[in-house]
Amino acid sequence: MRSDKHPTEPMPPMPLAPLDEAYLAHAQTCRDIASRVLGFLPVQHRASDPEHGREAERALAVLELAEQLVTEAVVIERERKASWSALGDAAGISKQSAHERWSAHIGQWTRIQRRRRASPALADPAAHAQDLDDWYTGLVPGEPRAVSGGLISLRDPGARQAADELRTEALQLYVRLDQLKKEEDRAFEASFATPAADSDAGHRRTAWAGVHFAKAEAYDRLAVAEAPLAAEHRRAAAAQRSIARDILAGRPAGPKGSGGQ
């Protein structure tokens, strides 16, 4: 008898908690760098090699990976709630310079839901960690769990579930902010569509301010759901509340408000 039911798609592996995902990505880059550097040896004399630039090209590839390693280290630090001041001190630059240098990378990390990019074969974090463990053991015998041993959520399904729920909440909050932006546009236009003396003008301004208060609440929740951007989200929430208070007080709030999304 023929069945009309489609085979059930296997569930994708649940990612680790964001900090462990960041550590796993960092460990992979360490491996990539080590593999390239070890490829420089043994020394091969190439005085007669007509193709110039090969050695420099290989070294520059390592430098590019080293920059990636630094960026991944910054992601780890932000997941550990390090301040931009602390990161600036570590790099020998100012807090503002550290923010300018790496904040876009933190934004990108949150946009991919704070999880590493991996090939389909290594999508399962347990398989990825085991692969790195095996590689490291080949270099340093006696360290069978050099990577997996430090990934706390790998052995804690509850922590992975809780982290994934925060990822889902963050996505929902961004959808909510998109909806509120449309409501803000409509409320702004309604507030200026009729003379200020209109009997309903006060109600319209209250509704307009209410949208900004709702946006502030969404940013407050994002500050909890996305720890690496907590300070930015809190600033956005404060800006939205300031705009709302200006609207209620009859002060100019700028073109359709400002601050955050």
pLDDT of residue 235 exceeding 70: yes
Q: How confident is the model at residue 259 (pLDDT cuts 50, 70, 90)?
A: low
pLDDT exceeding 90 applies to what percent of the chain?
77
Q: CA 211 from chain center: how many Å? A: 26
pLDDT digits (tens, 9 = 90+) for 154-189: 999 999 999 999 999 999 999 999 999 999 999 999
Cα 258 to Cα 174: distance, rounded to the nearest angstrom: 17
pLDDT digits (tens, 9 = 90+) for 199-213: 677 889 999 999 999
pLDDT of residue 253 exceeding 70: no
Amino acid at 32: D
pLDDT digits (tens, 9 = 90+) for 32-72: 999 999 999 988 877 677 778 888 999 999 999 999 999 99
Encoded tokens for 5: 């039911």
Provide long-range contacts, Cβ within 8 A and 24+ apart, for 234-243: 235/259, 236/260, 236/261, 240/212, 240/213, 240/215, 240/216, 241/212, 241/213, 241/216, 243/209, 243/212
pLDDT digits (tens, 9 = 90+) for 14-26: 999 999 999 999 9
> What is the average pLDDT score of the chain?
91
